[in-house]
Each structure stands twice: as C-alpha cells, then as structure tokens.
Amino acid sequence: MNKYKNITLFLVKFFVTYFLLFTIYATYLNKSQIKGTGFQCASITAKVADQTVSVLSFFGYNVSRAQHEKEMSVKLLVNNHYTARVIEGCNSISIIILFVAFIIAFSGPKKATFIYAIAGSLIIYLINILRIAFLTMMLYKYPAQQEILHNLVFPAIIYGTTFLLWVIWVQKFSYHKK
C-alpha cells in the first residue's frame, strides 16, 4: 500500500506544480505577446534570440535578429540570410517547467530542491542558447539537413540534458536515492 501512496504523492506534486507553473507562464505569454496587425514575441523569446546572436557574434559570425512580420517568431539572419527562427517553444521555459515539476515531485531537502531547481534551470537555459546557436550555423552551412538537425539532433540535446539532470537529482539528492 505504501508503494501506491508514494506514486500518488509523486503524481499529485508533479501535476500541481506543473499546472501552477504552466498557468503562470501562459498568463505571462498572454500579456506579453502582441498579435494582430503586427507581431511581437514575448520578451523571454526575444531575449533567447538576442543571446543566441551574442553567442554567435562572439565566435565571429555575422548574425542579427528581427521580429518576424508574419508570425510569432524571431528570425535569425546569418550574413543577412534568414536561416532560423526562434518561437515560443524554443525559449526553454516549457522544458524548465517540466524539469522543476519533476524535481519538486521527487523531492529532497528543501534547500537542495530549491538550489538544484534553480541551477538545473540555468543549465537547461544555457544549453538551449548554445543549441540554438549551433543549430543556426548548421542550418546555414547544411540547409539540406534541416529535417534531421531540427527534428532529431537538437531535441536530443535539450531533452538529453534534462534527463541527465533528473537522473543526477534522483541518484544524489532526492529522498528516493539509493
């Protein structure tokens, strides 16, 4: 019976945390995005695009960004050539919400849970910026490989990082470690 109690508690904590954070994020998106005669992405999505441009510029690439005129995205331009776009789903917030919900559901000491949730979120965010930068340059250099790069390689990076952080959490910090 205790086994089912633990599973139920995990699911309740996970879904309550997930839906609470998702509701906050959805409210933020509704208030910060502009749709209609023109488009303006949420500030976090624009910030991710800006930081991607900064990373690529640091490495000597001629990269800029522009709000897409016809859709809710930010265009990334390499040598003034529209190469990639950053949409709301690319800003890593949705996966950070999933990450944090799991950490809280598989709880550990409060201080460790808080610190790991913040540190893991920052790692996911940083890996995401690097992932988008790398994807942008790969799409610029190898546009014929768009399908495999965008749909397989680059999701594997962000989801693989998140999974690895979850495994570390469960094995080293949660109350469920062995």
CA distance 84 to 80: 12
Residue 22: name the closest of 87, 88, 72, 108 by CA: 88
Whole-angstrom distance, CA of residue 169 vs CA of residue 161: 12
Does any domain span residue 80? yes
Burial (Cβ within 10 Å: 0-12, 13-18, ≥19) of residue 23: exposed
Q: Is 178 contained in some domain?
A: no
Sheet with 63-67, side-by-side order of all strands: 63-67, 74-78, 81-86
Q: Which amino acid is at 97?
A: I
Is there a domain that residue 140 lies in? yes
Q: Which of 33-37, 77-81, 140-144 has the lowest mean pLDDT?
A: 33-37
Q: How many domains does the chain have?
A: 1
pLDDT at 59: 96
The string of pLDDT tens digits covering residues 4-30 is 888 899 999 999 999 999 999 999 998
Nearest to 45 by CA among 78, 82, 76, 24: 76
Give the residue, 151 or 100, on which the prediction is more confident. Answer: 100
**Residue 177 in domain:** no
Question: Domain range for residue 46?
Answer: 2-172
